[in-house]
Amino acid sequence: MEETYFDSLEKKINYDFKNKVLLINALTHKTYAFEAENPLEFNERLEFLGDSILGFIIAEQLYKENKYFSEGELTRRRSIQINNRFLAKKANEIGLGRFLLFGKGEKKQNGDRNPTNLANALEALIGAIYLDSDLDKVREFIFDNIFY
């Protein structure tokens, strides 16, 4: 993979990674990592981090914008905004699927169109951006690319 492979993705999301390894890890499905000759980190740990960050940022925004909503209503609205179906749709809009790295079997099964894979990769991308920068940059990414 040459450096230009990810250039169009970085341009699309308006974020240039300082540490390209984080970007590659965010886009690496475990099937690709398991088939690699050398051990390779894949996106599940970044997905875990990104999911938490996304939940926090959306909860914070809902809290600020909805002064009179109950906890239950805030929770309901947050769950609507961070469910896998919604995130997969947003990942599709970014064109994330074409950058994902899959093993042979997952590639044959059109893993780049699988909603779970897309949502997970988007969450991993959030985690990677956070580690590469800070909470303000990831907040900007989320509101520019997911909740605009």
pTM: 0.93
Total Cβ atoms within 10 A of residue 64: 8
Residue 123 annotated among the catalytic residues of the structure: yes
- Average pLDDT for 10-35: 96
Give the model's pLDDT for residue 4.
61
Residue 41 bears catalytic tag: no
Whether residue 17 contacts residue 30, with contact meaning beta carbons closer than 8 Å, is answered with no
Rounded Cα distance between 132 and 43, Å, is 15
As to burial, measured by CB atoms within 10 angstroms (0-12 exposed, 13-18 middle, 19+ buried), residue 77 is middle
Q: What residue spans define the domains of the chain?
A: 3-145
Residue with tokens 């981090």: 49
Name the percent of the chain lying above pLDDT 90. Answer: 90
Cα–Cα distance between 91 and 97 in angstroms, integer?
Answer: 7
Model pLDDT, residue 131: 98
Catalytic residue (one of 47, 106, 112, 123): 123
- The yes or no reply on domain 3-145 and CATH 1.10.1520.10 is yes
d(CA 122, CA 102): 15
Candidate list 51, 106, 112, 132, residue with the active-site label: 51
pLDDT at 29 over 70: yes
Model confidence over 59-97: pLDDT tens digits?
999 999 999 999 999 999 999 889 999 999 999 999 999
Mean pLDDT in residue range 44-71: 96
Residue 101 forms beta bridges with which residues?
A: 28
